[in-house]
């Protein structure tokens, strides 16, 4: 391998370090105007009247739109029937709900006019907890009721299995809402015309195109969505981009002027999806030898006001709740519930961090009760090739969990673990598995094109988006490897719905695996043309030709070589195709809808983390001394990119576990800014050391598997386990903040 496995720097990095990259907010068009919305400000109620007179009379205001001005159905969402209005018409379901759109000559005027709008709302008693939403006499937030989706996974027979268990542990675990906090707030820019163009900071342009077109009441073919360089997404720039993208396009068409809508930070927090808060009831039964024979888990997700990705997050928690273990009897019930809070949806990890925290906490509790080593119990129960996981799916290959455990076990121990009065030390372990591909969430197809020019340079097109995770570099490496050209000669197109193929959503850690397979396939087809041409030119058989270092080379005589550019030129004039559009379709999930037994994902990423912490008992302050993060990624395509994914995802997991909490009071978010919402800064970083385990995955390019999400779950869980090890008691709610630790230590001190 010449390029696969090498530390290749980002192929799109030059623009980013020089300030030349065009993010959505950097676009400028003549006559451009700006949009801002008036939000409800109360969590639940019915709109009785809207007074926009003051806004209309504000100098510089050009247009004022309410629900009745939306040409289409005024709905967006992830799954039909869509439930989320662009502008609320009657019902208010959360405080951040948009009600009126103001278009003005400047963003400042639009904002100030929006604040002058008076929306009269007859308030309802807001439903602010899952319990209230599920009360028998609860007001229905949506016509369909307050349950978004409820599903069961049933493997074996837990009831009788628990009767056979020597040891049973039970607990309830909770997690809080988390904000994506990408540094670039959501921004879109719409340019009107016979066909309208939307430049958007977004994650899934084809999904947005559908919603924009529907709400414009135009065919999808009249809408072009171009992904601007996107300043982070982590699952977050999908629904909200569809919302403001549709609004901007509708206003642009009405006014025949370009319209930009850029969220302020506060709007980014209150008006776009969050990570679900969860309550997880978990019960685990084991034999005295440590074999886990039964797990029974109930997951309740607070999904906020709209469905968004809640149904899929529900499925994901269902499938992952029992953890990466070989357990004969498993029963899980997952339910997502509507409340009058900011809607929840996709966020890196997609439900797996919540359930992994619960599961891994309980594995430790079980080990303690059995008097067993905490890593040993994971070894005993951890999945191996040939085992059936919670859905009964058996993988004969690429189940590298045990190797990640061994790699972690082999890391050096803390040098001196000396607990003095003030400082307590602890070590935690956590295992994770995370499914790769859409799996139970839908059919997984990716289209990708590879196109060589006569000069030997290559253009790659794919409908999956670069969001900072380095996917473009991975795809370029795959093409460079297949075609033997320098990575400098490869460009990856911006995602423009006019010029690349729909590749499905950029989710589920699928870009490297499913996307990479399509890219590899297309590159292989172009390679065929080049090899055929080179064989003709060298008057030899095709199997004697290899493409390497920018040349077609005769295998038996390294000196006999023709530059690829010459081969490409000859191929062009001979009529050999130098472009190919290939599709990669993952095997479809095949499972029973009542029990969720069956084959779901094309692969899993497996991981084991270890974290060593020091807790200052006088302040509650935690110092992370070591963090080892081992993941089975099948094959490393780019170590530099992989480390970046593992380190970055780990800090998001750490934030979830230790620092970040969306604070509500009466349905209103109280900390919608970076001063009050504690985002990890450079001083809070953890010393994550990424360790790659490579257990070849037959369903990925060169054996690779995605890695973007799984470290979030493991890092969150391992923090909780390390803290518990240090202080000697368990915290069952995330985040475990410094204040929580101090309070708990002081309370125990007082009572002890």
- Which residues of this chain interact with other proteins, rule CB under 8 A? 7, 9-10, 13-23, 25-26, 28, 180-185, 229-234, 264-265, 467-470, 640-641, 643-644, 647-652, 673-675, 679-683, 685-688
Nearer residue to other proteins within complex by CB, 263 or 279: 263
Nearer residue to other proteins within complex by CB, 364 or 466: 466
DSSP-derived secondary structure letter, 24: G
Cα–Cα separations (whole angstroms), residue 665 to 98, 164, 669:
20, 46, 7
Cα of 68 vs its chain's centroid, Å: 34
CA 304, 310, 315, 321 dihedral sign is: negative
Nearer residue to other proteins within complex by CB, 260 or 564: 260
Could you tell me which residues come within 8 angstroms of residue 367 by beta carbon, excluding any fewer than 6 positions away? Answer: 290, 373, 374, 376, 377
Tokens for 573, please give them: 């004039």
Give the whole-angstrom CA distance, residue 58 versus residue 443. Answer: 50
* Minimum distance from residue 680 beta carbon to other proteins (Å): 8
Secondary structure E strands in 40-145: 45-51, 61-65, 91-92, 98-104, 118-123
* Minimum distance from residue 18 beta carbon to other proteins (Å): 6
Nearer residue to other proteins within complex by CB, 23 or 29: 23
* Minimum distance from residue 34 beta carbon to other proteins (Å): 12
Note whether 252 and 259 are within 8 A (CB): yes
Note whether 636 and 706 are within 8 A (CB): no
Could you tell me which residues come within 8 angstroms of residue 242 by beta carbon, excluding any fewer than 6 positions away? Answer: 76, 207, 208, 211, 212
* Minimum distance from residue 187 beta carbon to other proteins (Å): 10
The overall longest dimension of the chain from CA atoms, in Å, is: 88
Secondary structure E strands in 602-702: 603-616, 622-632, 664-665, 668-669, 688-693
Nearer residue to other proteins within complex by CB, 420 or 682: 682
Give the whole-angstrom CA distance, residue 669 versus residue 42. Answer: 11
Note whether 700 and 446 are within 8 A (CB): no
Give the whole-angstrom CA distance, residue 335 versus residue 131. Answer: 12
Note whether 189 and 24 are within 8 A (CB): yes
Nearer residue to other proteins within complex by CB, 418 or 675: 675
* Minimum distance from residue 4 beta carbon to other proteins (Å): 17
Nearer residue to other proteins within complex by CB, 612 or 647: 647
Nearer residue to other proteins within complex by CB, 23 or 124: 23
Give the whole-angstrom CA distance, residue 91 versus residue 101. Answer: 17
Nearer residue to other proteins within complex by CB, 563 or 644: 644
Nearer residue to other proteins within complex by CB, 179 or 632: 179
* Minimum distance from residue 471 beta carbon to other proteins (Å): 11
* Minimum distance from residue 676 beta carbon to other proteins (Å): 9
Burial of residue 575 (CB within 10 Å: 0-12, 13-18, 19+) is exposed
Nearer residue to other proteins within complex by CB, 93 or 631: 631
Nearer residue to other proteins within complex by CB, 340 or 465: 465
Give the whole-angstrom CA distance, residue 512 versus residue 642. Answer: 11
* Minimum distance from residue 36 beta carbon to other proteins (Å): 13
Could you tell me which residues come within 8 angstroms of residue 100 by beta carbon, excluding any fewer than 6 positions away? Answer: 37, 38, 50, 52, 55, 64, 65, 66, 87, 114, 117, 119
* Minimum distance from residue 271 beta carbon to other proteins (Å): 15
* Minimum distance from residue 645 beta carbon to other proteins (Å): 9
Nearer residue to other proteins within complex by CB, 203 or 724: 203
Q: Using alpha carbons, select from 604, 650, 543, 207 the residue that is nearest to residue 398.
A: 604
* Minimum distance from residue 650 beta carbon to other proteins (Å): 6
Could you tell me which residues come within 8 angstroms of residue 42 by beta carbon, excluding any fewer than 6 positions away? Answer: 92, 95, 121, 123, 126, 667
* Minimum distance from residue 745 beta carbon to other proteins (Å): 27
Q: Using alpha carbons, select from 436, 434, 432 the residue that is nearest to residue 608.
A: 432
Secondary structure E strands in 437-485: 445-452, 458-462
* Minimum distance from residue 275 beta carbon to other proteins (Å): 13
Give the whole-angstrom CA distance, residue 102 versus residue 109. Answer: 9
């Amino acid at each position: 391998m010449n390029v696969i496995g090498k530390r290749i720097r980002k192929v799109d990095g030059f623009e980013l370090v020089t300030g030349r990259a065009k993010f959505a907010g950097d676009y400028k068009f003549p006559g451009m105007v700006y949009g801002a919305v008036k939000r409800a400000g109360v969590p639940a109620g019915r709109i009785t009247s809207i007074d926009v007179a003051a806004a209309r009379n504000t100098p510089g205001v050009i247009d004022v739109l309410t629900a009745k001005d939306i040409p289409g159905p005024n709905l967006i969402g992830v799954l039909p029937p869509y439930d989320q209005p662009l502008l609320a018409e009657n019902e208010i379901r959360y405080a951040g709900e948009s009600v009126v759109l103001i278009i003005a000559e400047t963003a400042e005027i639009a904002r100030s006019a929006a604040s002058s709008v008076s929306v009269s709302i007859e308030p309802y008693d807001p439903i602010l907890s899952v319990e209230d939403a599920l009360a028998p006499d609860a007001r229905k937030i949506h016509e369909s009721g307050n349950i978004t989706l409820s599903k069961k996974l049933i493997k074996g027979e837990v009831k009788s299995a628990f009767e056979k268990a020597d040891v049973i542990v039970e607990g309830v675990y909770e997690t809080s809402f988390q904000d994506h906090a990408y540094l670039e707030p959501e921004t879109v820019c719409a340019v009107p015309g016979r066909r309208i163009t939307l430049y958007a900071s977004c994650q899934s342009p084809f999904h947005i195109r559908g919603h924009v077109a529907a709400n414009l009441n135009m065919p999808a073919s009249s809408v072009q969505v171009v992904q601007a360089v996107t300043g982070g997404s982590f699952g977050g720039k999908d629904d909200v981009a569809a919302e403001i993208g549709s609004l901007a396009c509708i206003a642009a068409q009405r006014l025949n002027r370009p319209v930009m809508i850029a969220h302020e930070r506060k709007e980014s927090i209150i008006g776009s999806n969050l990570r679900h808060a969860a309550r997880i009831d978990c019960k685990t039964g084991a034999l005295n030898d440590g074999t886990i024979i039964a797990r029974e888990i109930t997951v309740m997700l607070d999904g906020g006001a709209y469905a968004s990705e809640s149904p899929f997050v529900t499925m994901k928690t269902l499938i992952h709740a029992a953890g990466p273990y070989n357990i004969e009897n498993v029963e899980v019930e997952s339910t997502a519930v509507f409340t009058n809070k900011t809607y929840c949806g996709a966020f890196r990890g997609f439900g797996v961090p919540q359930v992994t925290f619960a599961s891994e906490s309980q594995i430790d509790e079980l080990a303690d009760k059995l008097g067993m080593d905490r890593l040993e119990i994971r070894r005993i129960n951890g999945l191996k090739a040939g085992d059936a996981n919670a859905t009964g799916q058996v993988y004969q290959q690429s189940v590298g969990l045990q190797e990640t455990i061994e790699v972690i076990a082999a890391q050096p121990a803390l040098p001196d673990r000396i607990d003095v009065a003030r400082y307590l030390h602890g070590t935690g372990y956590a295992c994770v598995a995370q499914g790769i591909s859409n799996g139970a969430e839908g059919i997984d197809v990716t289209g990708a094109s590879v196109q060589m020019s006569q000069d030997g340079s290559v253009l790659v097109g794919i409908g999956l988006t670069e969001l900072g995770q380095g996917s473009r570099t991975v795809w370029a490496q795959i093409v460079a490897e297949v075609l033997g050209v320098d990575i400098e000669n490869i460009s990856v197109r911006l995602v423009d719905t006019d010029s690349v193929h729909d590749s499905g959503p950029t989710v589920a850690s699928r870009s490297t695996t499913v996307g990479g397979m399509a890219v590899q396939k297309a590159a292989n087809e172009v390679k065929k043309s080049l090899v055929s041409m080179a064989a003709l030119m060298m008057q030899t058989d095709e199997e004697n030709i290899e493409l390497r270092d920018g040349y077609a080379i005769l295998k038996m005589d390294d000196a006999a070589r023709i530059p690829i550019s010459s081969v490409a030129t000859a191929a062009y004039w001979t009529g050999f195709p130098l472009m190919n559009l290939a599709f990669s379709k993952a095997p479809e999930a095949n499972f029973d809808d009542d029990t969720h037994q069956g084959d779901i994902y094309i692969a899993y990423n497996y991981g084991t983390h270890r974290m060593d912490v020091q807790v200052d008992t006088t302040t509650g302050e935690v110092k992370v001394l070591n963090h080892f993060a081992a993941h089975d990624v099948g094959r490393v395509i780019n170590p530099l990119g992989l480390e970046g994914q593992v380190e970055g995802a780990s800090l998001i997991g750490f934030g979830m576990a230790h620092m970040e909490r969306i604070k509500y009071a009466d349905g209103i978010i109280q900390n919608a800014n970076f001063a009050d919402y504690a985002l990890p800064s450079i001083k809070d970083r953890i010393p994550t050391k990424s360790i790659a385990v490579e257990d070849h995955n037959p369903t990925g390019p060169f054996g690779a598997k995605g890695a973007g999400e799984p470290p979030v779950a493991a890092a969150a869980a391992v923090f909780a386990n390390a803290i518990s090890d240090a202080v000697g008691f368990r915290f069952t709610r995330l985040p475990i903040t410094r204040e929580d630790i101090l309070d708990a230590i002081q309370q125990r001190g007082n009572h002890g």
